[in-house]
Amino acid sequence: MRILSFNLWHGLSPAGPLAFEALEPDSRRRLREDLQVETIQSLNPDFCFFQEVNPIITRGPALRQALKMVGEFQGDLVGLKVLGVGLPFNLHSGLAILASRRMGVKWVDAVSLSRPGFNWVRMWASWQLREERFALLSESIVPGVGKVLMVNTHLHHGMDMTAEFEAEIDKMCETYELKTSFISELKERLRRGDERRRQEVAVLMETVKRYEKRYSAIVICGDLNAVGDSDLFPIFREMGFRDAWVEAHPTDPGHTFDRVNNTANHLLQSRFPLSLVLEDLTFSVKTKEHLLGLARGQESRPRRIDYVWFRSTVPLKVTQAELVGKPNAEGLAPSDHFGVCVDLEVV
């Protein structure tokens, strides 16, 4: 079976409660969306796991029709909506799992990973006052494998505190002789993204455990906003999941978020604000500029954050894994992410 995981990029940036700022003209966005369909059609996948489908209420079904597939959808970042209308008026992003008609796909569940209190999200209406992340679960029957649970998710976007980044922060703090209390507060803020993702993964795995006995195989795909050596992933391996990209390319970093090889989209993406809040901290302008420079470098560095994880009671092997959605001859790429396309075969 051929599996495609692809963050399609809504191309928006936070600007206020009424609307998000579009990072590109509508004409360019439409070209990208057409290129997405062309790219996906050329791959002929059995299953597609899409993130940042916007607006999910109309573009989800449009993708399903254009690709001649069947599918299920779940909003994740939507705000206050009724039948797709509400605030913010141009953000109604969501998750989609599409399957070829010969495979088929059936709804299983949609689970809030963030659990932010009184939020309520359905395709036709929502009451969402805080950022929320979801996992969409569907199932299919794959010849030779059996009943397969398909899980699509998009974890919290927030800075990841890698060892290299922490070493740069420590060096900066030493250079400017910053107070211990400031350093402690700064590092706590920098670690919030990782902590949020750990909590989301814990809920995700609780959900998988609740359903796992029904299935001979489980596939988890999505934009996990964390690099391969993150402490998010030991639990995946402990539960028997295998990283398809690593099995196919053990020495290839497989950067899916890559400003070097996806230049045009990342120039636009650079306008997206940092997730690090500093306004309430008091320090010199030079210190702030240095810190912001380090943070921007951390956020824009090439890295692999999109994954296909799988496990099965039937022996499976990865026969192919590739990054898709590279820029065309005109330099236009379908998204700010590259997709991950994986072939799994019964041994």
pLDDT value at residue 276:
81
Q: Say if CB 52 and CB 154 are below 8 A apart.
A: yes
What's the residue count for the chain?
347
pTM across the whole model: 0.96
Residue 284 contacts by C-beta under 8 Å, 6 or more apart in sequence? 176
3-state helix, strand, coil in the chain (%, to 5): 30, 30, 40
DSSP assignment of 49-95: EEEEETTHHHHHHHHHHHTTEEEEEEEEE--EEETTEEESTT--EEE
pLDDT value at residue 228:
92
Distance between CA atoms of residues 305 and 141, nearest Å: 28
DSSP assignment of 273-287: PPS---TTS---HHH
Count of other CB atoms within 10 angstroms of residue 334: 27
Comparing CA positions, the residue from 300, 297, 298, 238 lying closest to residue 269 is 300
Tokens 């998988």, residue?
A: 208
Domains and CATH numbers, the chain: 2-346 (3.60.10.10)
- 10-residue stretch averages of pLDDT, the chain, 347 residues long: 98 88 96 98 98 97 98 96 93 97 97 89 92 97 97 95 94 92 91 96 98 98 96 96 98 97 94 81 85 93 98 98 97 98 97
